[in-house]
Chains A and B, each alone.
Chain A
Amino acid sequence: MQTSFTTEQLADPNVAESEKILRRCVHCGFCTATCPTYVTLGNELDSPRGRIYLIKEMLENGRPADAETVTHIDRCLSCLSCVTTCPSGVDYMHLVDHARAHIENTYRRPLADRLIRSLLAAILPYPARFRAALQLARLGRPLAPVFARVPALAPIAAMLSLAPVRRARTAAVTDPQPVSTPRRGRVAILSGCAQSVLDPGINAATRRLLTRFDVEIVAPRGEGCCGALVHHLGREDEALAFARRNVDAWIGEIEGGGLDAIIITASGCGTTVKDYGHMLRLDPLYADKAARVSALARDITEYLSTLDLPVLESRRLSVAYHSACSLQHGQRITALPKLLLKAAGFTVRDPAEGHLCCGSAGTYNILQPEISAQLKARKVKNIDATKADVVAAGNIGCMTQIATGTAIPVVHTVELLDWAYGGPKPAKLATSGRKDRARPVAAARV
């Protein structure tokens, strides 16, 4: 569509990029139909097309963000369902990233909002702080209904309700086991931030599974939060600092012992690590290195698909596969996780409306609790309708969100795969008293 930027405005590479993105949009409106917030709220302003228009006006006029625009950009989940739908290839992800950074730089939020966002940015990316905060949240949980009654404090109520009732068992960080030579690959696994606190069992299962298939795992020093959490809050400098730190850690390993892949088990992080090359494109010191890192980033299911895992006998356990938005829309990984689960003997069921977000979306369920709750209810209803024995997902955010709504146990895809290929039964299944207690029968390797 038509745009109106001055030459001076276009001298800013971020504006120039956004202008190119806007030019692709033909305002056809297809994106509205698959946008979770438009489907829920029925207002053009809460649709991708409406937001694109709001962003266009804001950037063209070079003005500070205003309350109306901020409200509707804040309601965007960044689920990227619109990007999957868009026939003309509008790169909405980078457009809304730009808008969020612009908002952060030009708009002064109300005090409560500022405090909550600062709190999230100061705690979530740091495992030790997050662990301590969860302890406090467990104590504060009874107060959640009180906070919920004050609109400005609703995010605190949401945080308290999301905190797991039980503390996650700290997984024994087993040293990578020696692998029989010749090894099939050498990889790093992103240890990340929130997932390592909420469910350390995910990466433990990943390590066991990869080690069993002769993949060498290394743990580069200095690696940590990928930066996605602050990136989606528009805190660009902090996000880039996290990205640079991880790039440094991985490049050291790439240039040292060499890496075949950087494995990510939380798809929200995966989308961001795969975007490091773009995020750091304007940094002459990091642009190349970041692009190399992004090129090696793989979701765990992508990497497992390259290993030709043996096909196992069918087992009587049905899995509702929840396709995390960051996997299906952000990384366009749709069939692979299901193929792996099927090959491992599970019966896979697709919940209806699989393209719609569960409402987790990073810190969205804390910052937008009302819309998030509606999306969760819709998601859980569709998942429950599958009557599956277990829900599998590839992202810790979705797992936490869905688990607070359904009685069906929710596990990570890799935990089921680890179990099927000889690992322990996922703890959440062990306690659920469900069928299929038999050990999986490993068929001959193919």
Chain B
Amino acid sequence: MAEAIQFLVPRDNVLARRLSIISDLADLLPPECLVHEARGLAPFETDAFIAYRRVPLAVALPRTTVQVAAVLKYCHRYDIPVVPRGAGTSLSGGAIPQEDAVVLCLSKMTRIIEIDYANRTATVQAGVTNLSISDAVGTDGFFYAPDPSSQLACTIGGNIGMNSGGAHCLKYGVTTNNLLGVKLVLIDGTVVELGGKHLDAAGYDLLGLVCGSEGQLGVVTEATVRLIAKPEGARPVLFGFDTCDEAGACVADIIAAGIIPVAIEFMDKPAIEICEAFAKAGYPLDVAALLIVEVEGSEAEMDAMLASIVEIAGRHGVRKVRECQSATEAALIWKGRKSAFGATGRIADYICMDGTVPLGKLSYVLGRTAQIVEGFGLRVANVFHAGDGNMHPLILFNANDPVEAAKAEAAGNEILKLCVEAGGCLTGEHGVGIEKRDLMRYQYSDIDLAQQMDVRGAFDEKWLLNPSKVFPLDGRIRAAC
């Protein structure tokens, strides 16, 4: 199939030196930390955005910051592109390599370095999974708040690269609001420390710049994150509606009333059916739309907040309200929601959009999304962080049918343009990656883009880090490629 998204043309001079590059990398890394056989490289050719695939030149699996620095310094010296990778769960293709690139995969760096309750921080290596931070401090009553649905598998390094969000970010903020410091290796091998255990560092907020920079400013090898005390109690409540419109309007009214629950998640009928098939969480199957609203605090706090939400939902014709009765039930409700994307594989292949819209436009965008997808003769399932207006239409298609695959991509592009037109943005939490790169011009003027590229160039003058991503290939400035 003809690919709609182009990668940079591989550099012949790098491809020609493949064997000597591998031999040089073998001097920098122990044998088990380097993959270079063709068979072994293929599984690294993509991430969770599997429509696009490129087999890399080699994969480095360093164990230490020193090894990361050595590999980067070498690649910088010889103009070899580098694609950083954590667990390879990116939905926007952020970790998809290219033929002339060394993949720098931090999956062996999984040590929790320090838990500091006095300062409410955890310092971990970048390959530590998001959930394992919460697991490590859970019995002491703490957790790490941002919870991408892939939190079981995704790494904190990847979360920083994409400034990841999650269901509970409505109250606690996304990665950037919970990140206090990083150890960052620059492309020339220099190791810098940004931030620390304090809330704000003196000087420029370079930490804020690095968070969400998609691996283009440097490679994070360690992170210090904020820990939060667990609430006294938490209760997810299911609200079932007869139409998506009513559910969408209800979300906008909850937020407009100044109520901030921990999470407001939205699932339409196809999504409910998919999640129920995997998790058997007891989601109502006879409603058109479902909101999972989680409140937390003391019993009295939860009761009071819930009463207000139930009252608002009543005005929008809510048909079913079900309070979760046990911790097991709550766990199943979240398991189903967080497995939604993967569980979609039960019925079809999919691509997942990540546009964010103002809450007042939620119902409108949902309706238009359905029309767009239907216009291409495809189906859509919606499951998303409604409280943040962060939409995730899953466009269902058959990956073995090239015509359908092309239609799915085209439908996705129209939906993202719709989000921008509605006053929102292309990506809420998955990052631009390669998927939304060519749509960046809908979001930004050339001047705005140029400013971002200037910053990128200041960190990585030769544009070696994750070079095919984020910025459209034409009109790049200061790019050596």
Contacts and interface: CB of A to CB of B under 8 A. Distances in A.
A72 B341 CA distance: 27
Contact of B345 (A24, A41, A45, A49): A24
B39 A68 contact: yes
Contacts of B342: 26, 28, 30, 86-88
A23 interface: yes
A24 B278 CA distance: 13
Contacts of A57: 39, 42
Contacts of B107: 38, 42-44
Given A1-B399, A33-B152, A33-B153, A44 B345 contact: no
Given A27-B48, A32-B87, A33-B153, A88 B400 contact: no
B150 A1 contact: no
Given A87-B278, A87-B343, A42 B43 contact: no
B47 interface: yes
Interface string A13-43: 0000000000111111111111000110111
A26 B278 contact: no
Given A23-B400, A53-B42, A43 B35 contact: yes
Interface string B116-150: 00000000000101010000000000000000001
B92 interface: no
Nearest to B153: A33
B108 interface: yes
Of the four ranges (under 10, 10 to 19, 20 to 34, 35 or more), the interface on chain A belongs to 35 or more
Contact of B341 (A26, A31, A49, A89): A26
Most buried by A among B39, B340, B341: B39
B150 A26 contact: no
Contacts of A174: none
Contact of B108 (A23, A27, A42, A50): A42
Interface string A49-81: 110011001000000001011001000000000
Contacts, number: 118
Given A26-B350, A33-B152, A54 B89 contact: no
Q: From DSSP, what is the main secondary structure of chain B's interface residues?
A: loop
B243 interface: no
A214 B159 CA distance: 59
A27 B47 contact: yes
A368 interface: no
A314 interface: no
Interface string B323-351: 00000000000000001111111100110
A2 interface: yes
Given A23-B400, A42-B110, A54 B278 contact: no
A31 B88 CA distance: 12
Nearest to B51: A2
Nearest to A2: B399
A3 interface: yes
Given A26-B349, A32-B153, A43-B61, A87 B339 contact: yes
A41 B342 CA distance: 24
Contacts of B89: 28-30
Interface in B10-48: 32, 35, 37, 39-40, 42-44, 46-48
Nearest to B335: A87
A331 B88 CA distance: 29
Contacts of A86: 342
B378 interface: no
Interface in B30-77: 32, 35, 37, 39-40, 42-44, 46-48, 50-51, 59, 61
Nearest to A68: B39
Interface of B: 32, 35, 37, 39-40, 42-44, 46-48, 50-51, 59, 61, 87-89, 105, 107-110, 127, 129, 131, 150, 152-154, 278, 339-346, 349-350, 399-400, 405
Which 9 pairs across A and B sit closest by C-beta, in order of nearness?
A: A88-B345, A87-B342, A42-B108, A87-B339, A53-B43, A26-B345, A2-B399, A87-B343, A28-B342
Interface of A: 1-3, 23-34, 38-39, 41-45, 49-50, 53-54, 57, 66, 68-69, 72, 85-90
27 contacts: A2-B349, A26-B344, A28-B48, A28-B153, A29-B47, A29-B48, A29-B87, A29-B89, A29-B150, A30-B89, A30-B342, A33-B152, A34-B152, A38-B107, A42-B109, A42-B110, A43-B61, A43-B107, A43-B108, A54-B39, A54-B42, A57-B39, A68-B39, A87-B341, A88-B342, A88-B343, A88-B346
